[in-house]
Amino acid sequence: MKTTTFDIIIVGGGVAGLTNAIHLSKFKQRVLLIEKKSYPKHKVCGEYISNEVLPYLNSLGIDPIKEGAKKISNLQVSSTKGILIKGVLPLGGFGMSRYFLDSLLLKKARFNGVQVLKNSVDSIRFKNGVFTVQTKDSKSFQSKITIGAFGKRSELDMKMNRKFIQKKSPYLAVKIHVKGDFSENLIALHNFKGGYCGVSKVENNSINLCYITEYHLFKKYKNILDFQRQVVFKNQHLKKIFKESISVFKKPLTISQISFESKNPVENHIIMCGDTAGMIHPLCGNGMGMAIASARLASELILKFLNGEIKTRESLEKQYFKDWNKQFKIRLKTGHFIAGLFRSEMFSQIAYSILKMIPFLLPKMIKFTHGKQIKPI
């Protein structure tokens, strides 16, 4: 069997994987990116990204605003009873669909010389300082570094016996794009019993509606439309948006078994990025921003390792583990706390009442789930 060698192999071609590929190839590394699905593809995603990553993306040659992303500066949050709180996003952000963002990142990666392979990875083995990555059709590749960016939940997680994969996840998410009347510079988070829905515009004037709920509540109803009518529409703001808009998709996209359990950012010597390393609760938004930020963190340390500035693999892994936790651990804990607070109807109503009386607390809460602006490379 012929084995092809690269400097870095990236398993998974979502936001984190593609960002790593662009960053590393910019510094003349030979990069192979393996993605099992075809591009471009719509994915269940909130499609809001904090401006904290904008200077970094620009330095990689990606300008979302120039490409048509919607600038977002304002936030609305409503309770299950429709109590509305308005605020300003401390850094602001932008709205862009995963379909379009992945296309932009893929184009740049290929321009930089990244080899992109559509295939499924069967195994990742590490021996004597070298990774061997084998695909399901028995192709074999080797590298000094392998990055895991294969998303929220994967067969590879099960094969590596990662702890989080052993626990069942109770969440289901649904996404559609619609056409209708909604402010371009606004993101809204509207709560309903057992879940919430994010609303924001993306690059083609479509409105992204993405909601998450507990599966045991959803399965009581016949289908998605019935659930929306009986549960989601209890929030008057959501009912208005859904009723006064026209769906762009033939049918909603869904994903289940979403896990917010803690994960290790390094497993079996693989550097994990994006949702593969840890996933912030969607109620706090900015999962894509976190994926991009983690890609920058990983890429910079990997380059230091490959040029000899970081002397050993053990030092690389320890430093990434330390830096990842420093940058993201508080965000994740805050996200879990806020999500838990709002799952309780009694506590959420108290929280809304407090925020209504003291509105400047809302931007402060947002800061705990977002990072500082990342400097360009």
Span 3-35, pLDDT tens digits: 899 999 999 999 999 999 999 999 999 999 999
Write the pLDDT tens digit of every residue in 201-230: 999 999 999 999 988 899 999 999 999 999
Distance CA 299, CA 33 (A): 14
The confidence score (pLDDT) of residue 169 equals 76
The confidence score (pLDDT) of residue 341 equals 61
Residue whose tokens read 């490379």? 377
The confidence score (pLDDT) of residue 361 equals 66
Distance CA 203, CA 357 (A): 35
Please give the mean pLDDT across all residues of the chain. Answer: 90
> Kind of pairing, strands 253-258 and 246-247?
unpaired
What DSSP character marks residue 89?
Answer: E
The confidence score (pLDDT) of residue 83 equals 84
Contact status, residue 185 vs residue 88, Cβ threshold 8 Å: no
Distance CA 190, CA 178 (A): 16
Give the CATH fold of the 3-41+99-167+260-368 domain: FAD/NAD(P)-binding domain (3.50.50)
Q: Which of 30-34, 59-63, 88-92, 231-235 has the lowest mean pLDDT?
A: 88-92
The confidence score (pLDDT) of residue 283 equals 56
Query: Tokens standing for 224?
Result: 């998605």
Contact status, residue 206 vs residue 95, Cβ threshold 8 Å: no
Query: Could you give the percent of the chain with pLDDT greater than 90?
Result: 70
pLDDT > 80? residue 243? yes
**CA-to-CA dists, residue 271 to 78, 228, 233, 318, 372, angstroms:** 38, 39, 42, 11, 23
Distance CA 183, CA 72 (A): 9
Among 2-6, 84-88, 97-101, the range of highest mean pLDDT: 97-101
Confidence of residue 85 (pLDDT cuts 50, 70, 90): confident
pTM: 0.92
Which residue in 162, 156, 145 sits closest to 122, CA to CA? 156
Contact status, residue 135 vs residue 230, Cβ threshold 8 Å: no
Would you give the distance in Å from CA 315 to the centre of its chain? 27
Distance CA 67, CA 318 (A): 38
What is the mean predicted confidence (pLDDT) over 108-126?
Answer: 98
Every domain of the chain and the residues it spans: 3-41+99-167+260-368
The string of DSSP letters for 40-74 reads S---S---EEEGGGHHHHHHTT--TTTTTPEEEEE
Contact status, residue 300 vs residue 374, Cβ threshold 8 Å: no
Confidence of residue 235 (pLDDT cuts 50, 70, 90): very high
**CA-to-CA dists, residue 99 to 32, 38, 282, angstroms:** 21, 11, 19
The string of DSSP letters for 140-196 reads EEEEEEEEE---SS-HHHHHTT-GGGGS---EEEEEEEEES---TTEEEEEEETTEE
| Residue 255 burial class via C-beta count within 10 angstroms: exposed 0-12, middle 13-18, buried 19 and up | middle
**CA-to-CA dists, residue 195 to 36, 93, 191, 210, 271, angstroms:** 30, 23, 6, 11, 32
Tell me the H-state helices in the chain: 15-26, 54-59, 98-111, 155-159, 215-218, 224-230, 236-243, 287-306, 313-343, 345-357, 361-368
| Residue 161 burial class via C-beta count within 10 angstroms: exposed 0-12, middle 13-18, buried 19 and up | exposed
